[in-house]
């Protein structure tokens, strides 16, 4: 009898020992988002942050008790590189985030040493280019290709037989990549072109525009933000009738206001439900409007952000099932993301490649028909 009792005790000890040796389940995961909520490019911050909030709410309301709860915390980065590190450090200190979404490309570059040291995974849900793809392995870009999407503008200029192009460029990483992608395809096809970089707070472009007019410029590409509304207005006031082109940022209401309507007719690379998964995209937009009481001013930024965070959430819900004691959370998530293939999102079927960039989101050419309204061009 004593022998049997010893065996029972030994079995219980072994069982409890095994349970004690297993890693505990994670019950909550914190995500941060650094986005422009004020100052500049707010269409790239407010609606994307709300789309991410919607996705997190949907996940938390349908998850099982074994799946971790997800918390989202948003900081205003004002679209400034200098604010990226302070915002990141605040999110780490106050909320101990393990995943960071950041929409500003310059800011994405700025935080590289910090996320690598801390083991944090960073996702840019709006921009995706060759430079960002060359950063450390903790960085992913779940978004359209900046080079491919803006080449649409260059192709359009070539199609129309235009021969001399001025490209006004705001001094940041995204606009540099976007403007140069247009410049490259124009140069390859023998179209005379020139990039002029202007000041961050510049509002008077008359000297630049006058020189371009005197040189016979027959197309103007405005690669910047709301300040270029003033340039459009000044161009039309001095009798410039040449067509205007833009990257996909011209739906900021301040852009239209500054142009006093001169922005009407501008053609740009853009993305709507017509370019993605039409049914899923409209379901998302209906849910967005129901949740926040309005439609987003610009559709593609919240659509991309919604897909990006849902890809992350789709992996996080499996964490407690698939984790092992030998691998840290960041390493686990990197491995999972590198194996994402044909995720069915509102923007299309998205895959992530070995360099952390994504494929599956393709922009088309649109034209501003009236304030806040774009129409897809049939060519």
Work out the mean pLDDT of the chain and round it to a whole number.
93
Mean pLDDT (whole number) for 340-369: 97
pLDDT at position 297 is 87
Count of domains forming the chain: 2
Mean pLDDT (whole number) for 213-236: 97
Residues 233 and 114 in one domain: no
Residues 369 and 338 in one domain: no
Residues 163 and 306 in one domain: no
Asked whether residue 17 is domain-assigned, the answer is no
One-letter-per-residue 3-state SS of 33-60:
EEECCCCCCHHHCHHHHHHHHHHHHHHH
Domain CATH for 198: 3.40.50.2300
Residues 342 and 205 in one domain: no
Residues 231 and 325 in one domain: no
Residue 326: band (very low, low, confident or very high) from pLDDT cuts 50, 70, 90: confident
Residue appearing with tokens 């707010």: 42
pLDDT at position 23 is 59
pTM of the model: 0.89
Residues 306 and 338 in one domain: yes
Residues 35 and 117 in one domain: yes
Strand order in the sheet with 343-344: 343-344, 349-352, 358-359
pLDDT at position 9 is 43
Q: Is the pLDDT of residue 324 over 90?
A: no
Mean pLDDT (whole number) for 336-358: 97
Instruction: Tell me if 41 sits within 8 A of 227, measured CB to CB.
Output: no
At 5-60, the pLDDT tens digits run: 444 444 444 444 444 445 578 899 999 999 999 988 999 999 999 999 999 999 99
* More confident: 171 or 24: 171
Mean pLDDT (whole number) for 253-264: 96
Residue 1: band (very low, low, confident or very high) from pLDDT cuts 50, 70, 90: very low
Residues 219 and 162 in one domain: yes
Rounded to whole angstroms, how far apart are CA atoms 164 and 183? 11
Residue 195 parent element (H or E): strand 192-197
Residues 151 and 250 in one domain: yes
* More confident: 131 or 100: 100
At 68-89, the pLDDT tens digits run: 999 999 999 999 999 999 999 9
Residue appearing with tokens 């501008």: 266
Asked whether residue 11 is domain-assigned, the answer is no
Residue 378: band (very low, low, confident or very high) from pLDDT cuts 50, 70, 90: confident
Asked whether residue 13 is domain-assigned, the answer is no
At 105-128, the pLDDT tens digits run: 999 999 999 999 999 999 999 999
Q: Which domain holds residue 80?
A: 29-144+274-347
Residues 198 and 133 in one domain: no
Rounded to whole angstroms, how far apart are CA atoms 245 and 248? 10
Asked whether residue 360 is domain-assigned, the answer is no
- For residue 127, give the nearest of 136, 111, 139, 117 by alpha carbon: 139
Asked whether residue 20 is domain-assigned, the answer is no
Burial group, residue 225, by CB count within 10 angstroms (0-12, 13-18, 19+): buried
Asked whether residue 354 is domain-assigned, the answer is no
DSSP string, 272-325: -GGGS-HHHHHHHHHHHHHHHSS--SSSHHHHHHHHHHHHHHHHHTTHHHH--T
At 89-102, the pLDDT tens digits run: 999 999 999 999 99
Residues 226 and 105 in one domain: no
Residues 224 and 250 in one domain: yes
Asked whether residue 290 is domain-assigned, the answer is yes
Asked whether residue 298 is domain-assigned, the answer is yes
pLDDT at position 40 is 86
């Amino acid at each position: 009898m004593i022998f049997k009792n010893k065996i029972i005790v030994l079995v219980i000890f072994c069982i409890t020992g095994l349970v004690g040796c297993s890693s505990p389940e994670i019950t909550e995961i914190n995500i941060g988002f650094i986005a422009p909520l004020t100052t500049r490019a707010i269409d790239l911050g407010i609606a994307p942050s709300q789309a991410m909030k919607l996705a997190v709410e949907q996940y938390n309301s349908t998850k099982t008790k074994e799946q971790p709860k997800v918390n989202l915390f948003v900081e205003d980065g004002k679209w400034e590189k200098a604010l990226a590190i302070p915002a990141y450090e605040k999110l780490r200190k106050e909320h101990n985030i393990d995943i960071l979404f950041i929409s500003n490309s310059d800011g994405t570059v700025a935080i590289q040493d910090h996320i690598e040291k801390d083991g944090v995974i960073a996702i840019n849900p709006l921009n995706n280019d060759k430079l960002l793809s060359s950063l450390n392995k903790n960085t992913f870009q779940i978004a359209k290709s900046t080079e491919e999407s803006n080449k649409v503008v260059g192709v359009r200029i070539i199609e129309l037989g235009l021969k001399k192009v001025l490209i006004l460029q705001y001094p940041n990483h995204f606009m540099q990549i976007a403007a140069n992608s247009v410049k490259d395809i124009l140069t390859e096809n023998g179209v005379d072109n020139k990039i002029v970089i202007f000041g961050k707070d510049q509002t008077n472009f008359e000297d630049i525009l006058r020189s371009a007019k005197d040189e016979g410029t027959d197309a103007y590409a405005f690669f910047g933000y709301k300040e270029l509304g003033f340039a459009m207005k000044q161009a039309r006031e001095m009798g410039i009738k040449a067509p205007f082109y833009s990257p996909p940022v011209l739906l900021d209401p301040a852009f239209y206001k500054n142009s006093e309507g001169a922005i009407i007719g501008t053609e740009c690379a853009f993305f709507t439900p017509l370019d993605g998964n039409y049914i899923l995209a409209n379901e998302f937009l209906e849910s967005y409007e129901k949740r926040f009481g309005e439609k987003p001013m610009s559709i593609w930024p919240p659509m991309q952000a919604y897909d990006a965070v849902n890809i992350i959430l789709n992996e996080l819900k499996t964490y407690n099932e698939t984790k092992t004691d030998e691998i840290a959370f960041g390493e686990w998530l990197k491995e999972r993301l590198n194996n994402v293939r044909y995720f069915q999102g509102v923007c299309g079927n998205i895959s992530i490649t070995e360099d952390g960039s994504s494929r599956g989101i393709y922009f088309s050419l649109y034209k501003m028909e009236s304030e806040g309204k774009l129409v897809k061009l049939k060519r």
